[in-house]
Each structure stands twice: as C-alpha cells, then as structure tokens.
Amino acid sequence: MTANELDTPYYVFYANEFIDNYRDLENSMKAVYPNYQIAYSFKTNYTPAVCSLVKNLGGYAEVVSDMEYVLALKIGFTPNHIVYNGPGKGDMLKHCILNGGLLNIDNLREFERICAIASANPGRQLKFGIRVNFDIGNDLHSRFGLSSEKNGDFTYVLNAIKNIQNLSLKGLHFHISRARGLDAWKRRIDGILQLVGDNNLDNLEYIDLGSGMYGKLDSELQDQFGETPSFGDYAKVVAGEMAAFYSGRASKPMLITEPGTTVISKYFHVFMRVLDIKVIRGKSFALLDGSFHNVGEVCSLKKIPIRIKRHKSGKFYENLDFVGYTCLEQDIIYSGFDGELSVGDVVEICNVGGYSIVDKPPFIHPDIPIYMDLNGHTTCIKREQSLNDIFAPYSFDPVEV
C-alpha cells in the first residue's frame, strides 16, 4: 500500500525523517552537554505510534493531564521517564510522586497536595520539581509556575520543605511561549542557573527548560520566518551555559527540553481532494474534502507548504483560496494560490504534525485516518473515526415531552 492508493482525506507520518530529526536534536545537545534528555510533548501530538517511537529512541514522555499520564503508562513509559507538568493535575499526581516520576508543581495547591502525600507516607523519601516563573523580556505576562521574585511563592516552598524530612526538591522547570529565539533561550537558562546559585540548590537532579525551539522548515516556511537557529546554535547557548556552570562539579543535573512542534510538525502531511472549484464575484475557491481543523492553527498564521498531485490537465487560477467542507467562513486552508488546478486533484499539505491531530473536534465529519511511512512501508496507525466512535458517550434514550 502506498500513499497514492489511499482515499482522501488522510494523514501520513514520515517516520524515518522524524527519527533523523529527533537524533539530530539529541546529538547536537549531547555533543555539548552529555547529560541531556528529550521529553516529548504529548499534547502536541499524542498519536500512540509516535509516542512509542519516542520511547524506543530513548525519549521521555512530557504530559500535562491524567489522560496523557495514563496513556504514557499504557505505551510503556515508566514513571521515572514521565515528566508531569500542567496547572490542573488530577489524581495521577499521587501515582507520579510515589513512583519516582518527574513531577513539576505549578501552584501552591499542588504543593499542599504533595505535602499531604508526604505526611501520609512518612517512610517514603519523595522528590518533586517546581515550575518557576520569571520575566525573560518577551512581553508575555505568563500565568504559569511559581513566582521567583524575592519572598514569592518559590521562596515560600523552599523554606517550607526545610521542615518536611521526607520531601525534597529535585528539579526546576521553566517554559514560556512566544520565545523561540536564541536570546530568549539564553535568558531562560541564565535565569534558572541564577536561581540555582542564589538558593544553593546544589543537589538538583534535573533542569527542564520546556519547549519552543525552531525546527527544520520547508523552504516556503523558512522564507516567511527568515533566519532561524539550528539545533547546533541552540546547543551552544543552552547546553553550553549548563556545561560552563557545572564545569568542575561532581554533580551535573540532567538537562531536559520538551520538544513538540520542533520534532513532529514537519513530518506529518495531510492529503485532501479537490471536490469543486467555483468563482464568486471574481474570486476563485477550491473546495477540499478536509477542513482547517485537520491542518491546525498554523494555516491561519502562515502560508504552509502545499503540493498539487494533478488528476488531469486543469485551468490556471490566480489568487485562489483552498477552503474546507465546514459551514464556516473562516475555514480557509490556503490563500492566494496561483497555478493549474482541476476537480479531482489531490492537495498535499505539509507541516501539520503539531496540534492538528489532538485539536480536531468531531465537527460535521468524523476524524480521518493516519498512515505511517516507515522503511518504505505504509501502515495504518489510526483508522478513520466512525459515527459510533463519536456518539458512544451520548444517551440515545427517547426523550419524553
């Protein structure tokens, strides 16, 4: 079975290219700071085949909910290879901390919860991490983590655990959005290392800097972003600062990053067929059998790379918009296409691996299948969703009036 033999719409995951990219990031960091670890962001794309591949590559799971935590266990990650982040952890918080997971608390309510767990388990030595919050100058007043300002929540927790014999701090975590540049990453690592030095945190087991690196980009996207750092550039700044700070020290904590889009986006493509082409008041529209939900937010932010697989000779169009099947005016997948097109052509839309799979609602149509291309073989890793899949949780009991 090949991609050309499949019925649209569908995704293809190019696993070999994903593996090469994953290893490139890992090797770039380890060349500068050997004690480096990737923790793959489940929320970005929790397709089990992808997560299983990460596990087999030696990666950790980074999760932000009980659902994702249980999924990681089901796939085979052990708790000590699961980073549990997020502001709304459920009951699995207890499982995580009691089984050696990398639990990073986000707020004082979570600290109270782990204190209660420690009190109920006096014979167990428990460890946890803290997500810290400080300004890196990117004009975002983040709501996540504990404030590291003097006498803030971070200081409160450091003082409180001095009186809890079986609870200790083993990690610091920092993540912030809208900060992919090298300067922002330098401010991340510098801020964390300053907290380590100022608070004499000499026994940390890990420092986790979250996610948000640029990944490898198709030329069409690269032109829109301009010059972006390579994995080697990030390694010089982030791993380089770690290596310098811990030079000569016996204890060198693990450096963790949590890539999602960085490692996965480029390696998922979605294929949709042209159902109709029409012109309204001089504007051309091509209707596809998928929707912007299948592509993700990226299509509203950038002109994503597309490829046309022609069904037959077509007409040349200028400034054509590819639109989806929904009844929403905002369902625009690609604007401003100039080229030949006909009904029946297949549009290959690239760079859709980040958030499109997990963020797709069951709106109007069931979700579409996913195929994996690995070592020249194409296999189905998620079947097409059915009506029964969507409506199984609902009650169909007659409603009496």
**Which residues face 321 on adjacent strands?**
285
**Which residues face 130 on adjacent strands?**
105, 172
The backbone torsions φ and ψ at residue 77, rounded to the nearest 5 degrees and listed phi first, read: -70, 135
What distance lies between CA 387 and its chain's CA centroid? 28
pLDDT digits (tens, 9 = 90+) for 220-249: 999 999 999 999 999 999 999 999 999 988
Residue type, 55: K
The set of long-range contacts for 185-189, using a CB threshold of 8 Å and a minimum separation of 24, is: 185/209, 185/213, 185/234, 185/237, 185/238, 186/237, 186/238, 186/241, 187/136, 187/137, 188/136, 188/238, 189/237, 189/238, 189/241, 189/242
**1: pLDDT strictly greater than 90:** no
Distance CA(313)–CA(318), nearest Å, equals: 16
Distance CA(266)–CA(13), nearest Å, equals: 9
Per-residue pLDDT, averaged over 185-212, amounts to 97
For residue 312, what pLDDT is reported?
A: 84
**79: pLDDT strictly greater than 70:** yes
For residue 4, what pLDDT is reported?
A: 61
CA–CA distance from 287 to each of 248, 284, 320 (Å)? 62, 10, 11
Q: What's the chain's average pLDDT?
A: 96
Distance CA(377)–CA(248), nearest Å, equals: 48
pLDDT digits (tens, 9 = 90+) for 143-161: 999 999 988 999 999 999 9
Distance CA(393)–CA(401), nearest Å, equals: 22
Residue type, 54: V
For residue 3, what pLDDT is reported?
A: 56
- Residue 251: which pLDDT band, with cuts at 50, 70 and 90? confident
The backbone torsions φ and ψ at residue 6, rounded to the nearest 5 degrees and listed phi first, read: -90, 155
CA–CA distance from 393 to each of 216, 342, 388, 389, 396 (Å)? 40, 41, 9, 8, 10
Per-residue tokens: 21: 């990219």
pLDDT digits (tens, 9 = 90+) for 100-135: 999 999 999 999 999 999 999 999 999 999 999 999
**Whole-number percent of the chain with pLDDT over 90:** 92
